[in-house]
Amino acid sequence: MPAMFAVERINILKSYLRERGKLDVHSMSELLSVSEVTVRRDLEKLETEGFLTRMHGGAIIKGKEKPAPSPGQGPEYAKEELDREEIARVAFLMVKDNDVIMLMNGPIALCLARMLEKRVNVTVLTNDIQVVIARWFMSLCRIFIMDEPTRGVYAAARIDIYNAMNDLVTKGASIILISSDIEEIIDYASG
């Protein structure tokens, strides 16, 4: 992998923080294929700009209490969405029939998961419930048992999961929802 310019790393860090609200130095070091020292230096620069607050082992975005822009708002979101789709398309070209792949959580993985219906017999390992749901759309399953599908996810991801569940039901599937959050069960059952 060719070396990445600092501005490219910073843009990736900003995108990651906007999406997730926090990051850890070790994961970013592996993701960006740079040393932890380099990531810390980039985070220091972003902290100086007022974009984030550094903490032991990572950083959180400043002003996280402000609501994130809704999908589809503004040209910046549209460009990021196109970038994600392009990255997913490139990754899709690397996946062949009968491959076994690992998709971590995030919008690029979700976009790629949706594209994989064009491949035959691809096994996907993932820790992302949204990727799992996207793969379910391509299956012939009619009954889905979902155990705590929204535990530990951000509010925006929770809405996406509910929308995906509704799409499954609209297509004739049945869902058994298991949740320790009684309000979630009531809201979903009545919605």
Which tens digits make up the pLDDT trace of 94-118? 989 988 888 887 888 888 888 887 8
For residues 99 and 126, membership in a common domain is answered with yes
What does the pLDDT read at residue 43? 93
Q: Do 25 and 97 reside in the same domain of the chain? A: no
| Regions of the chain with pLDDT less than 50 | 65-72
Give pLDDT, residue 180.
Answer: 87
Is residue 87 located within the same domain as residue 172? yes
Residues 90 and 55 in one domain: no
Residue 164 lies in a domain: yes
59 in Cβ contact with 46 (< 8 Å): yes
pLDDT for position 75: 56
Residue 137: domain span? 74-190
pLDDT at residue 72, as a whole number: 47
User: 183 with 142, same domain?
Assistant: yes
Domain count, the chain: 2
Q: Are residues 12 and 90 in the same domain?
A: no
Considering the domain architecture, whether residues 82 and 157 belong to the same structural domain is answered as: yes
What CATH number did the domain enclosing 24 receive? 1.10.10.10
Tell me, yes or no, whether 66 lies in a domain. no
Q: Tell whether 87 and 177 lie within a shared domain.
A: yes
Identify the pLDDT of residue 140.
61
Burial class (CB in 10 A: 0-12, 13-18, 19+), 133: buried
Alpha-carbon distance values, 184 to 131, 148, 176, 177 (Å): 21, 10, 13, 9
Per the CB < 8 A criterion, the answer to whether 161 and 149 are in contact is yes
Report CA torsion sign: 108, 109, 113, 115.
positive
Same domain assignment for residues 41 and 116: no
Task: Judge if 92 and 169 occupy the same domain.
Answer: yes
Asked whether the beta carbons of 148 and 116 are under 8 A apart, the reply is: no
Whether residue 38 lies inside any domain: the answer is yes
Q: What does DSSP assign to residue 113?
A: H
